[in-house]
Structures are given as C-alpha cells and as structure tokens.
Chain A
Amino acid sequence: MENKTKTQLFWLVTLRVAIGWHFLYEGLAKLSNPKWTSFGYLMDSKGLFEGMFHSMAENENILNIVDFLNIWGLIAIGLSLIIGFLSRPAIVGGITLLAFYYLSHPAFISLEYTLPTTGSYFIVDKTIIELIALVVLFVFPTSKEIGIDKLILKKSNTDEQANS
C-alpha cells in the first residue's frame, strides 16, 4: 500500500487509533465496574432480534459469556487497533460486535428505547457509522505501515530472505 499519500495515511491511522481508543476505554470502564452486566442493555433490545437478545439476557450462563466476551473483546480490539497489531482480525471482530449492538437496538422510528440516546437517529446511528468506518479501515489497512504489524511483516520478510 505504498500508493497512499502521507496525509491519507495520517488520517487513516488517526481514525484507527480513535476507534481503538473508544473500544479500549469502553472495555476498561466495564472491567472496572464489578457490577457491570449487559443484562439491562439486552433486555432493552427491540426490533427483529429482540427475542434472541432477551433470551441471551435471561440465561445466566449465556449472560456471563456475553459479559466476558464484551469486556475482553472490547479491550482486545481496542488494544489491537491502537498499536496496529493483528489489525485485520481485530477489525472483523469490531465489526461483529458493532453489528450486534446495532441489531439489538436498530434505529427505527417505531422503536422507543428505555436507555437514553445522545441524539436523534433514523436507520443511520453512531454505531453503524463506527461500523462503516471499520469497514473503511479494512479496505485501507494501515497497520503494516504504521503499527506492530509492520515489525512482524519485516521479520517474516527477513526470515524468508534468510531461508532462501
């Protein structure tokens, strides 16, 4: 990907780090609250998949798994995006998480949520924008230019050269 200008690369990396920051801090905030659970959020789900999300919340075992994956998923994805380590799987993971958030609380006019929202949305909300931004980062990867992935890439390249 040597065809990006410096400015393009700078802003793509900034976007990656910003999303990473958001994920990491969300994860850490949940981690530091021992009482945090996704129960309320899942129970507030509306729309096509609400049945599925409600049953996830009501099954204690599933809820524990959901809580665990949420906290550590957010932290891992956040870390990975910031330092540019294994960014591609992290981006896919992030897209998956965000898709779950969106599907549990789709921004349709007919649905009213108990949890407060920070603005007015119709179909397009901040979750879906963050999701699309991750897709953009997937299409324009940067971690092999700025990020730990560059080190790995270099190392494997050198290894290959040494072996040949």
Chain B
Amino acid sequence: MNRRDLLKSLATVPVLGAVLYGWHKKKQAVELMKKAMHSEISLSAYNPVIEKEVATGKKLRIGIIGAGSRGSALLKGAGFVPPETIDSWKEDAVKDKNNTRYEEYLEQEDLNVELVAVCDIFESYAERAMKAGANIFREGSNGKMGNTPKRYRTYQELLADDNIDAVIIGTPDHWHGTITIAAAKAGKHVYCEKPMTWTVPETYEVVKAVQENNVVFQLGHQNRQNESYFKAKEAIEKGIIGKVNLIEVTTNRNSPGGAWVYDIHPDANEQTIDWEQFIGPAPKHKFSLERFFRWRCWWDYSTGLSGDLFTHDYDAMNQILGLGIPNSAVSSGGVYHYKDGRTVPDVLQSVFEYPEKDLSLVYSASLASNKHRGRTIMAHDGYMDVGGELKVFADKGSTKYKQQIEDGLINPEIPIYSYVPGQEHVDAITSPTEKYFAQRGLLYSYHKGKRLSTTHLHMKDWIDAIRTGRKATCNENRGFEEAITAHMGTIAYREQRKVFWDADKQKIV
C-alpha cells in the first residue's frame, strides 16, 4: 500500500477527534455548571419517608366509624378492601395489563392490624366495610376470608368496647370533633379525616382530650407523606429561594364529583339510613338523600372549601414552612355556578396574613374551572411550584443569583432544581427531555421506584406512632393550627369581616 492510499483510508479519522473533543468540552461545561449549582442548591438524596418500623408483635385492633367513600379509601390504606373491589381490579388487570392496581395493592405492606369493628349508619356501607374487614388474604370473592368485624349501630357502643385499640373516623365534618373527643376519652387512638373540627370550640376540646388521655392522634392529611414536600422543606430551610413573601394555593375543579355532587346510592332510603344519627350535632332537617350523600354542600354538615380543600394546601404549606396560625383572614366568594340549593360557596378567595413572618398566604378556589394554577411559594430569589413533583426556579430579579444568571449558569426559565418522587437521583441538571416530562407531570413515579399510596403511608405513620409511642406526623397540634386557620377563613366569609387571631388569648376575634 502506498502513502496515498493510506491517507485516503484515514482521511476522515480526524473528524472523530473533533466529535470527541466537542463531547469532552460539553461534559466539562456541564460538570462546571453542576458544581456551581450544587454549592448553592444541593439537596440531600435522603428521603425520610418510609420508616422501617416493622409491624410485629400483637395485632392492633381497629374500628372504623363512617365507612363511606373516604372511609373505604382509609380502609384500603390500612389493608382492607371488599372482595368485590378486588374482583373488579383483577378483571381490569386482565383487560388492560397496564392496570396494576391489584398488583400494587398486593405489594402494600401488611400493617399487622385487624379490623374488628364497623360503625356506619347506612346499611350498604356498613356491610361493605365488614366484608372488607374479613378479606384479610386480599384474594377476592372466591378467596379465603378471616373473621368478620362486629357491627355497631352507634359510635358510642363501638367506643365502649374494650377490645378495640384504635379508631378511624371517616364521618362527615360535623361529627369529626365530637367523635374524636369521645374516642380519646375512651382511650382509643384516633385517625380522623380532615378538617379536625366543624366548630371552633371543639378544636380546643380535641387537643385537650387527646393530650389528657395520652392517645395518638393523626389528622388525615396524607400529603404529609409526599416526598416532594420533604424536598421543598429542605430547599426552604437552605434558603434556596430566599425569604418567602407570598404563598399562593389553589383549588381548580370542574366536574359534578369535584363539586361534591356525588351519586346517590340506589339502596339508600329512610329504612337503610339512620337519619337521626346522621344529623347529630347539626340543625334538624327532614330526611334528604341529597343532604346525606352530598353533605359537603351545606354548612349544616360541612366546613366548605376552607375546611374541605384549603386545609390540604394549608397543611402542605404548614409542613414546608411551619406557618402556624395566621394573624388575620379575609374571604370573599359566592355560589356562582352550582345553583343547586347549596349554602357553601363554589368560588372562594381567602387571604391570610403573617406579619411576623412578613408573608401572605392566598387561597383561590373555583369548583367550576379546571385551569390549573397549582401551589407556588414566592420569594425574592426564586419561587417553587410544589405538587406531585417539585420545581424550583431562580427569579430574574434575584440578588443572590444575579451573577450566575449574568454568566449564563442559571436560566430563570428552567428549574434550577426539579425533583420527581421515585427518581433514583437528586440532581440539579436533568436532560431537556426529562425536564419537559417533569414539567408536564409525565414522569411516572413508579418507574424504577415503587408507587406507594400516601394514604397508606399516612396510616402506617399513625400505626407506627402507636406502636412506638411517638407522636404522629400530623398530630393534634398541627390539627389545631389547621382547624383554626380554616375556621378563620370560613368565619371571614360567612360574617363578611376581617377575622383576627389573638395569640395571647389563643382566641379568634
């Protein structure tokens, strides 16, 4: 072979060098950027979510009071699902192999608890919960069953039974406080759905009863277990976005179900529903299926948007920022879309002031528009969108990031930090594709990580707390802050005035 042929053979090899050089340069630049960002905003890869407290020893005996739709979801979180539901999950899995509900449920940890007691004032719900309680092998209709839980007609009878250690309360709002107080006085641990109370006076009594009787109380804000909230809290504590001055949280729903117009059960009538017990502490009213199934629409039983939906957002922010009770609240809104006889508003705006913290918390809700607005924490150096995933952006006008923005190391349009639960690594820099998917919530958290229900984790947190004698994550003190804040928003709306919290007297004025 001559020199000329050799040259021809190798003519294009130098191009290879150019590509490799380019790649190397690019890698260096990314590394440099990562370093620059990491020194500012690195967060730990540690996720404190799942404690390894193994549910061993004696089975905890629990009862449920109020086993409607939310009550059923709580039972599922505790490991009790009616066989019929399992059957339909199995069918779904056959029809669509992407449907992994049954598989996921089978993987849900056994909390070593026993459902021994059921109290519901609607026959069908009580029967369903009893079947769920017996279905301990999670097999479905043809499977083996365990003992059927005992049915109680009233919550007082259930609470009087010494063979029950703890109760789950899934009743309408107007019963939360009353039953929690009675349960605590009977020495039962309590998992109660949000909001903690229906009236202001009950709020103090719940805390007193829980603490005096030394029971473990968990309020049903399952988002306490949301991994991205842990990251958000860490990011706030590290001062990544600087000093927070405004928090905006929203409800955006647009469907009858979202506006609490639930289906009326075909078997429901005056014979199958104990109406008098339903009313309880509420004003007397003649039997009404609408009121029984759609109770959230009336102040007589409900706490409205403030108690029902804002509390989730408030609790999230309280978890992330340790807000506590605001100094004042104003609210306005009305029944603007669902003119179905409801008394609670379907559009509501509330503003809460925290002058000691130099920040405002704004809640804006519509039950008749789906425009997604999310939850945003705003500060001088940046802002963060907190949802299933967490995105942190630098602010264009930031003082802290001024230099990095000028140097092109930080682009205010792109998150300086994004966290998707289930992802293996915590990293400041992700590929454009990943960023895009993360922004649209399309990165499935079960990819290479197991998708776990937060309700289950919250239930587990409560049960672990009972077993180890610690406080639950969303205990009565957090519940007190939640309930008082929600009540302030509601009172401001209903009385059309600015409401204040007197921190010295611990009173709403």
Contacts and interface: CB of A to CB of B under 8 A. Distances in A.
Contact of B447 (A20, A21, A39, A147): A39
Contacts of A84: 9, 12
B15 A154 contact: no
A115 B436 contact: yes
Nearest to A35: B425
B1 A79 contact: no
A137 interface: no
A67 B507 CA distance: 61
A13 B9 CA distance: 12
A44 B91 CA distance: 26
B32 to A, nearest CB: 14
Given A29-B23, A32-B23, A43 B12 contact: no
Contacts of A60: 448
A28 B12 contact: no
Nearest to A20: B15
Contacts of B430: 35
A154 B5 contact: yes
Contacts of A28: 19-20, 23
A3 B265 CA distance: 84
B434 A150 contact: no
B12 A17 contact: yes
Interface string B436-478: 1100101110011000000000000000000000000000000
A147 B425 contact: no
Interface residues of A, number: 41
A158 B1 CA distance: 9
B415 to A, nearest CB: 15
B19 A21 contact: yes
Interface residues of B, number: 36
A148 B10 CA distance: 6
B431 A36 contact: yes
Interface in B3-58: 5-6, 8-13, 15-16, 19-20, 22-23, 26-27, 30
Contact of A114 (B13, B97, B442): B442
B443 to A, nearest CB: 7
A146 B427 contact: no
B506 interface: no
A145 interface: yes
B419 to A, nearest CB: 13
B437 A40 contact: yes
Contacts of B11: 13, 146-147
A82 interface: yes
Given A35-B427, A40-B437, A82 B15 contact: yes
A32 B434 contact: no
Q: Which of B19, B26, B431, B434 has the most CB of A within 10 A?
A: B19
A33 interface: yes
B449 to A, nearest CB: 11
B23 A151 contact: no
A52 B383 CA distance: 40
A32 B1 contact: no
B142 interface: no
A120 to B, nearest CB: 19
A119 interface: no
A138 interface: no
B343 interface: no
Q: Which of B12, B26, B30, B436 has the most CB of A within 10 A?
A: B12
Contact of B442 (A20, A40, A154): A40
A25 B15 CA distance: 12
B6 A82 contact: no
Nearest to A38: B433
Contacts of A150: 5, 8-9
B271 interface: no
Contacts of B13: 82-83
A112 interface: no
Contacts of B5: 150-151, 154
B70 to A, nearest CB: 31
A146 B433 contact: no
A41 interface: yes
B26 to A, nearest CB: 8
B423 interface: yes
A149 B10 CA distance: 10
Nearest to A40: B437
Contact of B15 (A21, A35, A39, A116): A21
A35 B9 contact: no
B432 to A, nearest CB: 9
A71 interface: no
Nearest to B440: A114
B431 A151 contact: no
A24 interface: yes
Interface string A137-164: 0000000011111110011001000000
Nearest to B7: A146
A10 to B, nearest CB: 10
Contacts of B1: 151, 154-155, 158
Nearest to B11: A146
Given A29-B23, A33-B431, A150-B8, A43 B442 contact: yes
B433 to A, nearest CB: 6
B187 to A, nearest CB: 48
Given A16-B12, A35-B434, A114-B436, 18 more contacts: A25-B23, A28-B19, A29-B23, A35-B425, A35-B431, A37-B447, A39-B447, A40-B442, A43-B442, A54-B98, A55-B97, A78-B19, A82-B16, A83-B10, A83-B16, A114-B442, A154-B5, A155-B1
20 contacts: A13-B12, A16-B12, A25-B19, A25-B22, A28-B23, A35-B425, A35-B427, A36-B431, A40-B434, A40-B443, A43-B442, A55-B97, A60-B448, A83-B13, A83-B16, A114-B440, A116-B436, A146-B8, A151-B6, A154-B5
Q: Which 7 A-B pairs give the minimum distances between C-beta atoms?
A: A150-B9, A151-B9, A28-B23, A40-B437, A154-B1, A146-B11, A82-B16
